[in-house]
Amino acid sequence: MSGTGAGWSRGGRAMAAGKLMLAWVALLWLLEVMDVLSGHALDGLGVTPRTPSELVDVVPSAFIHFGFAHLAANTVPLLVLGFLAALAGLRRFLLVCALIVLVDGLGVWLIAPAHTNTAGASGLIFGLFGFLLVSGFVERRPLGVLVGVVIAAIWGGSILAGLAPTQTGVSWQGHLLGLLAGVTAAFLLRRPKASRALTS
Protein backbone atom coordinates (compact mmCIF):
# COMPACT_ATOMS: atom_id res chain seq x y z
CA MET A 1 0.00 0.00 0.00
CA SER A 2 2.80 2.41 0.82
CA GLY A 3 4.54 1.42 -2.40
CA THR A 4 1.54 2.50 -4.45
CA GLY A 5 1.40 5.85 -2.70
CA ALA A 6 5.11 6.43 -3.29
CA GLY A 7 4.72 5.53 -6.95
CA TRP A 8 1.89 8.04 -7.36
CA SER A 9 3.76 10.74 -5.48
CA ARG A 10 6.72 10.45 -7.84
CA GLY A 11 6.35 8.95 -11.31
CA GLY A 12 2.54 8.99 -11.42
CA ARG A 13 2.33 12.55 -10.17
CA ALA A 14 4.92 13.72 -12.70
CA MET A 15 3.08 11.93 -15.51
CA ALA A 16 -0.23 13.52 -14.54
CA ALA A 17 1.37 16.97 -14.27
CA GLY A 18 3.04 16.58 -17.67
CA LYS A 19 -0.15 15.45 -19.39
CA LEU A 20 -2.13 18.31 -17.89
CA MET A 21 0.32 20.97 -19.01
CA LEU A 22 0.70 19.53 -22.50
CA ALA A 23 -3.09 19.51 -22.85
CA TRP A 24 -3.29 23.07 -21.48
CA VAL A 25 -0.75 24.40 -23.97
CA ALA A 26 -2.32 22.42 -26.83
CA LEU A 27 -5.64 24.09 -26.01
CA LEU A 28 -4.01 27.53 -26.18
CA TRP A 29 -2.54 26.77 -29.60
CA LEU A 30 -5.86 25.38 -30.84
CA LEU A 31 -7.62 28.53 -29.69
CA GLU A 32 -5.08 30.70 -31.49
CA VAL A 33 -5.56 28.72 -34.70
CA MET A 34 -9.31 29.23 -34.34
CA ASP A 35 -8.71 32.93 -33.69
CA VAL A 36 -6.70 33.34 -36.89
CA LEU A 37 -9.22 31.36 -38.96
CA SER A 38 -12.06 33.51 -37.63
CA GLY A 39 -10.32 36.78 -38.46
CA HIS A 40 -9.22 37.30 -34.84
CA ALA A 41 -12.76 37.19 -33.50
CA LEU A 42 -11.48 35.72 -30.21
CA ASP A 43 -9.35 38.78 -29.49
CA GLY A 44 -12.54 40.37 -28.19
CA LEU A 45 -12.33 38.03 -25.19
CA GLY A 46 -9.55 40.17 -23.76
CA VAL A 47 -10.36 42.45 -20.84
CA THR A 48 -11.26 46.09 -21.46
CA PRO A 49 -11.05 47.84 -18.09
CA ARG A 50 -13.98 49.20 -16.10
CA THR A 51 -16.59 48.07 -18.60
CA PRO A 52 -19.17 45.98 -16.72
CA SER A 53 -19.87 43.66 -19.65
CA GLU A 54 -16.15 42.78 -19.80
CA LEU A 55 -16.25 41.02 -16.43
CA VAL A 56 -17.33 37.82 -18.21
CA ASP A 57 -13.98 37.87 -20.05
CA VAL A 58 -11.84 37.83 -16.88
CA VAL A 59 -11.25 34.06 -17.12
CA PRO A 60 -11.31 33.57 -20.94
CA SER A 61 -8.72 36.34 -21.37
CA ALA A 62 -6.07 34.08 -19.80
CA PHE A 63 -6.49 31.63 -22.69
CA ILE A 64 -6.43 34.08 -25.61
CA HIS A 65 -3.33 35.52 -27.31
CA PHE A 66 -2.70 38.24 -29.84
CA GLY A 67 -0.89 36.18 -32.46
CA PHE A 68 1.39 33.16 -32.55
CA ALA A 69 4.47 35.14 -31.49
CA HIS A 70 2.67 36.21 -28.32
CA LEU A 71 1.65 32.62 -27.61
CA ALA A 72 5.08 31.19 -28.44
CA ALA A 73 6.70 33.54 -25.92
CA ASN A 74 4.39 32.19 -23.21
CA THR A 75 4.51 28.51 -24.11
CA VAL A 76 7.80 27.37 -22.56
CA PRO A 77 7.51 29.23 -19.24
CA LEU A 78 3.90 28.10 -18.84
CA LEU A 79 4.86 24.48 -19.55
CA VAL A 80 7.80 24.46 -17.14
CA LEU A 81 6.35 26.51 -14.30
CA GLY A 82 2.97 24.81 -14.60
CA PHE A 83 4.56 21.37 -14.53
CA LEU A 84 6.62 22.20 -11.43
CA ALA A 85 3.62 23.67 -9.62
CA ALA A 86 1.39 20.71 -10.57
CA LEU A 87 3.83 18.20 -9.06
CA ALA A 88 2.45 19.04 -5.61
CA GLY A 89 -0.99 17.80 -6.69
CA LEU A 90 -3.40 18.60 -9.51
CA ARG A 91 -6.30 19.68 -7.33
CA ARG A 92 -4.18 22.17 -5.46
CA PHE A 93 -2.58 23.33 -8.72
CA LEU A 94 -5.94 24.04 -10.30
CA LEU A 95 -7.00 26.01 -7.22
CA VAL A 96 -3.77 28.03 -7.44
CA CYS A 97 -4.38 28.73 -11.14
CA ALA A 98 -8.01 29.69 -10.52
CA LEU A 99 -7.00 32.15 -7.81
CA ILE A 100 -4.28 33.71 -9.98
CA VAL A 101 -6.49 34.02 -13.06
CA LEU A 102 -9.39 35.55 -11.13
CA VAL A 103 -7.31 38.01 -9.10
CA ASP A 104 -5.21 38.97 -12.12
CA GLY A 105 -8.19 39.40 -14.44
CA LEU A 106 -10.24 41.41 -11.95
CA GLY A 107 -7.22 43.55 -11.10
CA VAL A 108 -6.57 44.31 -14.77
CA TRP A 109 -10.24 45.21 -15.15
CA LEU A 110 -9.88 47.65 -12.27
CA ILE A 111 -6.54 49.35 -12.88
CA ALA A 112 -5.42 48.87 -16.49
CA PRO A 113 -5.37 51.99 -18.69
CA ALA A 114 -8.66 52.89 -20.35
CA HIS A 115 -9.38 51.64 -23.88
CA THR A 116 -6.85 48.80 -23.68
CA ASN A 117 -7.48 45.12 -24.38
CA THR A 118 -5.51 42.69 -22.19
CA ALA A 119 -5.23 38.97 -22.82
CA GLY A 120 -2.70 36.16 -22.58
CA ALA A 121 -1.26 33.64 -20.17
CA SER A 122 1.52 35.92 -18.91
CA GLY A 123 -0.41 36.93 -15.79
CA LEU A 124 -0.73 33.25 -14.90
CA ILE A 125 2.95 32.70 -15.67
CA PHE A 126 3.98 35.51 -13.34
CA GLY A 127 1.63 34.07 -10.75
CA LEU A 128 3.11 30.58 -10.99
CA PHE A 129 6.57 32.11 -10.73
CA GLY A 130 5.58 33.91 -7.53
CA PHE A 131 3.93 30.79 -6.16
CA LEU A 132 6.97 28.58 -6.79
CA LEU A 133 9.34 31.28 -5.57
CA VAL A 134 7.89 31.42 -2.06
CA SER A 135 5.94 28.19 -1.46
CA GLY A 136 9.05 26.24 -0.46
CA PHE A 137 9.87 28.85 2.17
CA VAL A 138 6.26 29.05 3.37
CA GLU A 139 6.04 25.27 3.77
CA ARG A 140 9.67 24.87 4.93
CA ARG A 141 10.46 22.28 2.25
CA PRO A 142 14.14 22.18 1.22
CA LEU A 143 13.29 20.88 -2.27
CA GLY A 144 10.71 23.63 -2.72
CA VAL A 145 13.25 26.25 -1.66
CA LEU A 146 15.72 24.86 -4.19
CA VAL A 147 13.10 25.00 -6.95
CA GLY A 148 12.39 28.63 -6.05
CA VAL A 149 16.06 29.52 -6.21
CA VAL A 150 16.54 27.80 -9.57
CA ILE A 151 13.54 29.43 -11.25
CA ALA A 152 14.60 32.80 -9.83
CA ALA A 153 18.02 32.32 -11.44
CA ILE A 154 16.52 31.30 -14.79
CA TRP A 155 13.54 33.65 -15.11
CA GLY A 156 14.16 36.34 -12.50
CA GLY A 157 15.59 38.82 -15.01
CA SER A 158 12.68 38.36 -17.41
CA ILE A 159 10.18 38.71 -14.58
CA LEU A 160 11.73 41.98 -13.42
CA ALA A 161 11.76 43.29 -17.00
CA GLY A 162 8.09 42.38 -17.37
CA LEU A 163 7.23 44.54 -14.38
CA ALA A 164 8.72 47.69 -15.88
CA PRO A 165 6.01 50.31 -16.58
CA THR A 166 8.06 51.74 -19.45
CA GLN A 167 7.35 48.83 -21.82
CA THR A 168 4.88 49.43 -24.61
CA GLY A 169 2.35 46.82 -25.61
CA VAL A 170 2.87 44.91 -22.35
CA SER A 171 0.48 44.84 -19.41
CA TRP A 172 2.87 45.36 -16.52
CA GLN A 173 -0.24 45.71 -14.35
CA GLY A 174 -1.31 42.19 -15.27
CA HIS A 175 2.19 40.89 -14.62
CA LEU A 176 2.41 42.54 -11.21
CA LEU A 177 -1.06 41.44 -10.16
CA GLY A 178 -0.36 37.88 -11.30
CA LEU A 179 2.89 37.81 -9.32
CA LEU A 180 1.16 39.08 -6.17
CA ALA A 181 -1.69 36.60 -6.63
CA GLY A 182 0.79 33.73 -6.90
CA VAL A 183 2.58 34.76 -3.71
CA THR A 184 -0.78 35.05 -1.95
CA ALA A 185 -1.77 31.58 -3.20
CA ALA A 186 1.40 30.13 -1.68
CA PHE A 187 0.22 31.31 1.74
CA LEU A 188 -3.50 30.60 1.38
CA LEU A 189 -3.11 27.15 -0.20
CA ARG A 190 -0.07 25.82 1.63
CA ARG A 191 -0.18 22.12 2.33
CA PRO A 192 -0.64 20.59 5.79
CA LYS A 193 2.55 19.35 7.45
CA ALA A 194 1.59 15.68 7.07
CA SER A 195 1.13 16.09 3.32
CA ARG A 196 4.47 17.87 2.98
CA ALA A 197 6.28 15.00 4.64
CA LEU A 198 4.92 12.56 2.05
CA THR A 199 5.80 14.61 -1.04
CA SER A 200 8.94 16.59 -0.16
pLDDT in tens, 155-194: 999 999 999 998 888 999 999 999 999 999 999 998 776 4
For residues 99 and 167, give the distance between their C-alpha atoms in angstroms, rounded to a whole number: 26
Residue in 153, 155, 149 with CA at minimum distance from that of residue 133: 149
According to the model, what pLDDT value does residue 168 have?
83
Query: Model pTM?
Result: 0.91
Cα–Cα nearest to 90, from 23, 16, 191: 16
User: Mean pLDDT across the chain, nearest whole number?
Assistant: 92
Average pLDDT over residues 119-133: 98
Compute CA 38 distance to the chain's CA centroid, rounded to the nearest angstrom.
26
- Give the confidence band of 146 by pLDDT, cuts at 50, 70, 90: very high
Model pLDDT for residues 2-46, shown as the tens digit of each residue: 344 444 567 889 999 999 999 999 999 999 999 999 999 999 999
